[in-house]
Amino acid sequence: MSGIEIERKFLVHKAGKPYREEAYASSRISQGYICSERGRTVRVRIRDGRGFITIKGPSGADGLARYEFEKEITLDEATHLMELCEPGLIDKTRYLVKSGQHVFEVDEFYGDNDGLVVAEVELHSPDEPFDKPEFIADEVTGDRRFYNSSLMKTPFSLWRDTLPEEFR
């Protein structure tokens, strides 16, 4: 897959963890970054026993859109490439929740990012309307603190107190 990725990102109300109950699928994800420079990232991901490599370009000023290239690689290749990654891995469970015509990907983080839960929805255009599930809260699209590549370098545990209690 390659092309322009348009997505919006949100904090999630965690009370009762309703996204878990509404999810039609979930998977554990481990990922690292070979390159996490601003404007270009190269990510290696292992998800459900499958490997992927993803290259992302710079985001626009609003953080909504950027070029993304993703290719499935063998699990063996992904495991070896993980050894080349920068320090700090991302460990999370992703829940898929259907809402209207869209699917929200809700990521529940572990390790140094434990307690953080964010949701993303991919769109065809920046102004495309979508139905928000009730657990969706404040939008954080474009806030670099919530980019996975940033969470690897500056984990949520270091700045969690900057968010309201319901999001910690």
User: For residue 9, which of 85, 135, 73, 105 has the smallest C-alpha distance?
Assistant: 105
Residue with tokens 């950027």: 66
Residue type, 82: M
Secondary structure (3-state) at 151: helix
Is 33 considered catalytic here? yes
Q: Extract the tokens encoding 36.
A: 């996490």
Catalytic entry in 33, 67, 95, 147: 33
Phi and psi at residue 150, to the nearest 5°: -75, -40
User: Contact, 97 vs 24, CB < 8 A?
Assistant: yes
Strands (E), 13-89: 25-37, 40-47, 50-56, 65-73
Q: What residues are annotated to the active site?
A: 33
